[in-house]
Structure 1
Amino acid sequence: MSGVQVMDALHQGLWLALIMSLPVLAVALIAGLLIGLFQALTSVQELTLTFVPKLAAILVTFWLTMDYSGQLLVNFYTDQVIARIVAP
């Protein structure tokens, strides 16, 4: 593999990591905003109120998108990386 191919594979890998992390990060952002709004409206400043629902939302989102993310990762690895290593 030449330097250009390595940089291209690295570039595609970073985009893949971004695509795989977007659903979890978006849910964490939305859950954080909703919980913050709820705390501001009700003046409830409980630490577990911010942590537990956000963690539950993140875990559910990760569980729901795990199959899609795994397929993306396996396809990237088998189609891109191995094919580039084998190719002369």
Structure 2
Amino acid sequence: MEEAVFFDTLREGLWIGVTISIPILTVALVAGLTVGLFQALTSIQEMTLTFVPKLAAIVAVFWLTMGFMTERLVSFFQTTILTQVIGG
């Protein structure tokens, strides 16, 4: 395998990793900021209050975007990785 092909494949794989993680990370950020703001306004300092809503939001978004993530990963594997293994 040529060096350029290897780095292009690596770059594409990293980009796919970024695109499939953006929805979950965005929701975690928004949930964390919302709960943090709520805690600051009410002076409630409970550790489970930050963890449980964020976990619930992450699970909900993961459930909603699971099809998109799977489709992207399978497509990348079939079009890029398998063709390079077979041609390699």
Q: TM-score of the superposition, structure 2-length normalised? A: 0.95
Unpaired stretches in structure 1, ≥5 consecutive residues: none
Q: TM-score scaled to structure 1, two decimals?
A: 0.95
Number of residues of Structure 1 aligned to a counterpart in Structure 2: 88
Secondary structure of 2:44 counterpart: coil
Tell me the CA shift for residue 86 of structure 1.
2.5
Q: Does 1:85 align with 2:85?
A: yes
Structure having greater relative contact order (Cα 8 Å, sep ≥ 6) = 1
Note if 1:10 corresponds to 2:7.
Answer: no
Counterpart CA distance in 1 for 2:86 and 2:52 is 47
Q: Name segments (4+ residues, structure 1) moved above 2 Å.
A: 84-88
Map 1:15-54 → 2, pairs under 5 A: 15-54=15-54
CA deviation map 1:4-53 (0-9, x unaligned): 11111000000000001000000000000000000011111111100000
Q: Using the TM superposition, give the Cα deviation of residue 80 of structure 1 relative to its aligned residue in structure 2, in angstroms.
A: 1.1
